[in-house]
């Protein structure tokens, strides 16, 4: 068996639509407000809802390390809590560390991918995922490209 995933690589942010550039700017802005005193890896995530609203979140760390939460899940859970009727059409994620935004794209952890997949399934809406680096940007048109052979209790 061979499984193929699709990731678009964009080298110029101008290739993104205006709303996507706004989403990326929002992810970068919220990254700077992350609470990451332990890792000093400041992650920002912004989600675009079906109604056009943008919701953002960042990583929140804790002295008891596993109690912290990643930026992607902070943003998604907040969006789903505040706007349970709104599907997420796009998520952008960016990282600020060592005094700069990373040159390479940040790719979500496994737990975040699982939560992103649930949002896709829950709303029957593929989520476009924009993983931002200063030198290049990865784009997946569905979380399924980030999590092949995923667990799905509904199957
Ligand atoms: N982190 C995120 O917020 N999102 C990711 O996609 C990867 C990791 C956070 C968790 C922790 O606060 C810090 O980055 C270092 O792992």
Domains of the chain: 7-145 (3.40.140.10)
CA of 95 to the centre of ligand 1 (A): 9
Contact 34, 59 (CB under 8 A): yes
Q: How far apart are CA 47 and CA 116, in angstroms?
A: 11
DSSP letter at 54? E
Q: Hunting for tokens 């109604």 — which residue is that?
A: 51
Please choose from 37, 39, 64 the residue to mutate so as to test ligand 1's pocket, defined by most ligand atoms within 8 A of CB.
39
Question: Which residues, judged by CB distance below 6 Å to any ligand atom, belong to the binding site of ligand 1?
Answer: 36, 39, 41, 43, 59, 61, 68, 70-72, 106, 108-109, 112
Given a cut of 70, whether residue 154 has pLDDT beyond it is: no
Mean pLDDT of 56-76: 98
Given a cut of 80, whether residue 143 has pLDDT beyond it is: yes
Per-residue pLDDT at 87: 98
């Amino acid at each position: 068996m061979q499984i193929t995933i699709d990731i678009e690589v964009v080298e110029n942010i101008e290739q993104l639509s205006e709303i996507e550039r706004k989403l990326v700017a929002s992810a970068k802005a919220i990254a700077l407000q992350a609470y990451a005193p332990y890792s000093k890896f400041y992650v920002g995530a912004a989600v675009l809802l079906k109604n056009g609203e943008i919701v953002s979140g960042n990583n929140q760390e804790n002295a008891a390390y596993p109690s912290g939460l990643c930026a992607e899940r902070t943003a998604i859970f907040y969006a789903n809590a505040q706007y349970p009727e709104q599907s997420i059409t796009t998520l952008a994620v960016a990282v600020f560390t060592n005094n700069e935004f990373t040159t390479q794209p940040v790719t979500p952890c496994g737990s975040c991918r699982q939560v992103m997949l649930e949002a896709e399934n829950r709303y029957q809406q593929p989520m476009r995922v924009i993983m931002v680096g200063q030198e290049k940007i990865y784009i997946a048109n569905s979380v399924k490209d980030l999590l092949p052979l995923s667990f799905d209790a509904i199957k």
